[in-house]
Amino acid sequence: MFKKMITFIIILCTVGCRTLETAKESNNIKDNNNKTEINNNENNDKSETKENNNIKEEPLKEDDSKDKTLKYGEDSEIQSIYINGKKYYVLSANNIEDMTEDEIKNSSLVAPLKITEETIKGIDGIVIKYYDVQIFLGEQNRFGNTKVGLFEPQNRAWTIGEDKKRNNEIELKLSNSTVTITIKRGSISLRYY
């Protein structure tokens, strides 16, 4: 009986490992195919501009920046956009694509706030750091669920919850806490219910 159990476990492990390897290989093949399609599309676009202009090859600058816009928070309170290779984070309820370059630069978040893109507990988003306070805002997903979190230095762990209340400032209520966190431009405050 013991031999049968050991044999079964070995077979199960062998099949499991092979399945994982083939899944990784198929993902790599799909990624390579996607890259090839993207390169082919770019080459077709370049040839069309050559036919139209015969001399110059100019990419569309307006659409390039708008394609790289990301929204964070339930109501897109923080939006990021690339301008001339630099990423700007804007705290606003407005659509960042309708703003001019100067408006974006003037309303972007600056020191002492530090913003970094990170993955916390498997969720992609941004971490806003204000000295020792760290707040996480997850990327807006297609289902409308946005996760937010607070780093607890005494536990050295993140507390993650749902994004609850909405207005121009970011106000979040963690699911397992009684604290409301309000982020305004240039400040972070904690307030209890």
Mean pLDDT of all residues in the chain? 65
Residue 184: pLDDT band (50, 70, 90) is: low
| Same domain, residue pair 4 and 98 | no
Separation CA 106–CA 88 (nearest Å): 10
| Same domain, residue pair 40 and 67 | no
Select the more confidently predicted residue: 149 or 37: 149
| Same domain, residue pair 68 and 46 | no
Distance between alpha carbon 130 and the CA centroid of its chain, in Å? 19
Domain tally for the chain?
2
| Same domain, residue pair 111 and 165 | yes
The pLDDT of residue 169 = 54
Percent of the chain with pLDDT over 70: 49
Mean pLDDT of 135-147: 77
Report for 3-12, 48-57, 158-167: range of highest mean pLDDT: 3-12
| Same domain, residue pair 107 and 44 | no
Separation CA 33–CA 40 (nearest Å): 11
Q: Final residue of a domain: which of 42, 57, 72?
A: 57
| Same domain, residue pair 46 and 73 | no
| Same domain, residue pair 144 and 164 | yes
Record the tokens describing residue 89, joined without a space: 């984070």
> In which residue are the tokens 């694509």 written?
97
pLDDT tops 80 at residue 136: yes
| Same domain, residue pair 85 and 179 | yes
Select the more confidently predicted residue: 154 or 173: 154
Q: Final residue of a domain: which of 11, 28, 57?
A: 57
Q: Final residue of a domain: which of 11, 32, 57?
A: 57
- What is the identity of the amino acid at 6? I
Q: Which pairing describes strands 187-192 and 157-162: parallel, antiparallel, or unpaired?
A: unpaired
| Same domain, residue pair 127 and 51 | no
pLDDT tops 80 at residue 191: no
| Same domain, residue pair 122 and 48 | no
CB 105 within 8 A of CB 83: yes
Question: In the chain, which ranges are E strands?
Answer: 70-72, 78-83, 86-91, 113-120, 123-130, 133-138, 147-152, 157-162, 170-173, 179-184, 187-192
| Same domain, residue pair 46 and 133 | no
- Distances in Å between the Cα of 171 and the Cα atoms of 19, 96, 164, 191 are 44, 20, 8, 10
| Same domain, residue pair 112 and 159 | yes
The pLDDT of residue 94 = 67
Determine the structural domain holding residue 123 and report its residue range. Answer: 62-192
pTM for the structure as a whole: 0.46
Tell me the pLDDT tens digit for each residue of 65-106.
Answer: 445 778 877 667 778 888 888 888 887 656 777 888 888 877
